[in-house]
Amino acid sequence: MDLRDSPEEAAFRAEVRQWLQDNLPEGWGTPAFKEPEDPEEHVKFLKEWQGKLASGGWAGINWPKEYGGRAVTVLQKIIFEEEYEAAYGPDMIHLAVGLDLVGPVLITAGEQWQKERFVGPCLKGEEIWCQGFSEPGAGSDLAALQTRGEIDGDELVINGQKIWTSFAHHADFCILVVRTNTEVKKHKGLTFVIVDMKSPGIEIRPLVEMTGHQWFNEVFFENVRVPLKNVVGGIDKGWGVVMETLNVERSSASQHSKLDAQIARLIKTAKAQGIDKDPLFRQELARTVTDSMVLKMTAYRNASAFIKSGESGPEGSIIKLFWADVDQRFKNQIVNAMGPAGLALEGDPAAADQGYWQHQLLWSKASSIYAGTSEIQRNIIATRVLGLPR
């Protein structure tokens, strides 16, 4: 495999770089530019930026053209993400469920009216989505979920509770998985449905993370009535749509881009903190640079396999597992190397890089949990990559 950009890829890379340079908000990337702190204002800022990406033709770039995408190749998608991270483009996490999960899943599995109604607004960042999968008794073993959906006329009546629902408090809609049949094997009785978060009977209770931020929620459903036409994939046929969603969620191929951008930022912080000559710090930095290259090569190898077979395999689990490990070790070591300045909280004048690394350290604990824990990734690699027995 030739790892250099082809002339077409080099031209594409230059185009992305130029567009970002011309369009990122005024002052972006300088200490003077601050994203809004108020959560509502922040979401508004991200929606506006997504609208700008969409009008420039840089949203959902791997989606088919008929849905507003550019139908770019897997490698072009990686190139876009490399350039976006290198420019420290805004983190679009609040819009990620809509953009990264709902759009692609509806394009594959949605009814025609669902595609027409929801896919465009996902692309333009006009509506926020949340993902109502996990429950107090069902995370890794998602098929054990208990939230009930009972058919009543042409509606589904929903009762139960979800947990860890990121951004439910900002969301317009939710992709919800409910149990519609208790008489069959657990994964055969599930239904995947689109729920309007303004429906009567929904209560959202915030959960504050150890970072001090509030992303997660518990979401309670009491006799919430949802039109049957909102079901995706058919009654009791939700498991296939869930698997499609999780495959899309785990297939992110550009973790190395984010890591490279953080390494570049870290070098600046290290110089400012006077630890850039510290041998232990340098050793950790070199190790992380090497790990990032390993991630990049694995992503390119997966992309190449995808181009040949047209299918994304379980190798995405290797990237997810390795990246979670690198992310946590890297953040831990560098905050140690920074000493008290690394541990000082955001807003503390003594904090290195305005508390960015302290926040990153705490946040890195999530890497081995979301989108399938590291133990679950190991199970997938064992059975589906190495062919070991369950």
* Contact residues: ligand FAD, CB under 6 A: 130-134, 139-140, 164-166, 366, 369-370, 373, 375-376, 379
Closer to ligand FAD by Cβ: residue 131 or 257: 131
Measured CA angle at 332 (ends 331, 337), to 5 deg: 95
Sign of the four-CA dihedral 65, 248, 244, 144: negative
Candidates 249, 311, 346, 375; catalytic one = 249
- DSSP strand pairing (190-196 vs 173-179): antiparallel
* Residue type at position 306: F
CB atoms within 10 A of CB 115: 17
Question: What is the C-alpha to C-alpha distance for residues 51 and 66, in angstroms, rounded to an integer?
Answer: 18
Question: What is the C-alpha to C-alpha distance for residues 244 and 234, in angstroms, rounded to an integer?
Answer: 14
Closer to ligand FAD by Cβ: residue 64 or 136: 136
- DSSP strand pairing (231-232 vs 190-196): antiparallel
Closer to ligand FAD by Cβ: residue 290 or 383: 383
Residue 210 CB, nearest approach to ligand FAD (Å): 11
- DSSP string covering 148-162: EEEEETTEEEEEEEE
Closer to ligand FAD by Cβ: residue 113 or 370: 370
**Which tokens is 157 given?**
């009546």
The C-alpha R_g of the chain, in whole angstroms, comes to: 22
Closer to ligand FAD by Cβ: residue 351 or 366: 366
Closer to ligand FAD by Cβ: residue 52 or 365: 365
Sign of the four-CA dihedral 54, 297, 85, 250: positive
Question: What is the C-alpha to C-alpha distance for residues 44 and 128, in angstroms, rounded to an integer?
Answer: 11
- DSSP string covering 30-55: STT----SSHHHHHHHHHHHHHHHHH
Residue 171 CB, nearest approach to ligand FAD (Å): 10
Residue 147 CB, nearest approach to ligand FAD (Å): 11
Angular region, 165: left φ>0, alpha ψ -120 to 50, beta rest: beta
- How far, in Å, are 38, 68, 100 from residue 246 at the CA level? 31, 23, 11
Residue 98 CB, nearest approach to ligand FAD (Å): 12
Residue 133 CB, nearest approach to ligand FAD (Å): 3
Find tokens 């890089």 and name the residue.
353
Residues 6+ apart with CB under 8 A from 363: 211
Backbone angles phi, psi at 54, to 5 degrees: -65, -45
**In the complex, residue closest to ligand FAD by CB:** 139
Closer to ligand FAD by Cβ: residue 75 or 96: 96
Active site residue 249: yes
Residue 161 CB, nearest approach to ligand FAD (Å): 11
Residue 350 CB, nearest approach to ligand FAD (Å): 28
- How far, in Å, are 178, 309, 323 from residue 383 at the CA level? 28, 20, 20
Q: Which residues are catalytic?
A: 249
